[in-house]
Structure 1
């Protein structure tokens, strides 16, 4: 028997998506408590030379992650959310143990794990991550604010942004989102570089980042599926989501 998609069904779906959005926004608190201070001043702990190169390093990490994650799809099956989180947490501990140098070396590997996890979530919602358009949508998830940024539901621009490959390339999309992601990853590096507790902070930050971006991927692709399911455009869905988040 076919399901009749009524406004009530849409409202229920939006409520579930809002719950995931709120969950994503709460995972970074433990990291800030661990390393001390506020998210906005974490970047100030990084050496100037690192801050100056961070955006370029982030863009290269995204390009390498896209190649590795896409090529691995025919070899390694998608893993569960839990396993992705465990793997990234372990890598964060290793990266943080050696301070900033090992944290920088670990960055592309963690980015690959995150992107592969996002691709797996896209599959859960019926999308094919081998298609260039869906690859672009997977990358767009990285345009979210990051787990250490304060967000009251107002920062939803990345959800309503229309991703199109017309007149551009996936590399162009990477270049567009790299500045936003570099700020989030800079906070991660600064947290991992905290003396003495680097390994613990590294594990905590990677746990937070993996949890955050996986939840945001669920939000992103759930909205895409809802748009097709109910015939509602994405900006309208994002507006409804924003209202649901603020009302909760």
Structure 2
């Protein structure tokens, strides 16, 4: 364990808490890997070629629709507690997995919308306005992390070191930039849900994992932005401090 040296003890403690959330986020996918019995990168091979070929364009379309629907719903439906978000998407995943690939394809954009809405809710918890374009882009950036089925046990340092740059991009360009990576992430989820016999159980487990993961990553993302705002530090400085805190766990 290395000693964390940063600005002040209060900031140290905030960073350690965020680092623990980050580490926790990566552990939730292991139950899915145990259930499907294989490595996540092999899941995509289970999908028909026609689905794989359309995955990126379908993801981009789903993101566009999800962003619009999630933003509009905020004036109608209040943000929910974390456990209720998990329970709701878990039930959706079970329903999507029960019917194999056809029902999983129908469920995927709905879950994408709910996940994005959850991320927006976390942004609001930290005092950011999810209705502004800048924060909507930050919500999209949360989706650029590797996802809960990444094989690095939660230490997805690419999220810290090579974050997708969305500053200055139009919303359409921002979605187009995030879509390829998210397509691979959601493709793993889709493939896991289509397993024969245990499709419903896998669908529930994958949605549990994805909701838990993105809630935690959203807390890390917007927690860092908020901490940087309060401490007068740039996002890149905060990411470096979080990477340092990760080594102190």
* TM-score interval, smaller chain: over 0.9
The number of aligned residues is 242
Match of 2:166 in 1: 163
Structure 2 distance, partners of 1:213, 1:159, is 18
CA contact (8 A) 1:159 1:238 kept: no
Unaligned runs of 5+ in 2: 1-5
Query: Once the 2 structures are TM-superposed, how far is the Cα of residue 240 of structure 1 from its aligned partner?
Result: 1.7
Match of 2:78 in 1: 77
Match of 2:3 in 1: none
Structure 2 distance, partners of 1:54, 1:209, is 18
Q: CA RMSD for the aligned pairs? A: 1.5
Match of 1:46 in 2: 47
Matched residue of 1:148: which SS?
coil
Matched residue of 2:147: which SS?
coil
Matched residue of 2:143: which SS?
helix
Match of 2:58 in 1: 57
Query: Once the 2 structures are TM-superposed, how far is the Cα of residue 247 of structure 1 from its aligned partner?
Result: 3.4
Verify: 1:9 aligned to 2:14, yes or no.
Answer: no
CA displacement, residues 115-161 of structure 1 (integer Å, 9 cap, x when unaligned)? 11111100100000011111111111100100000233422247855
Structure 2 distance, partners of 1:160, 1:139, is 11
CA contact (8 A) 1:153 1:242 kept: no
Superposition pairs of residues 124-203 of structure 1, within 5 angstroms: 124-151=125-152, 152-157=155-160, 160-164=163-167, 166=168, 168-203=169-204
CA contact (8 A) 1:160 1:234 kept: no
Query: Once the 2 structures are TM-superposed, how far is the Cα of residue 244 of structure 1 from its aligned partner?
Result: 1.8
Match of 1:229 in 2: 230
Unaligned runs of 5+ in 1: none
TM-score (norm 1): 0.94
CA contact (8 A) 1:84 1:117 kept: yes
Query: Once the 2 structures are TM-superposed, how far is the Cα of residue 236 of structure 1 from its aligned partner?
Result: 1.7
Matched residue of 2:204: which SS?
helix
Structure 1 distance, partners of 2:161, 2:51, is 26
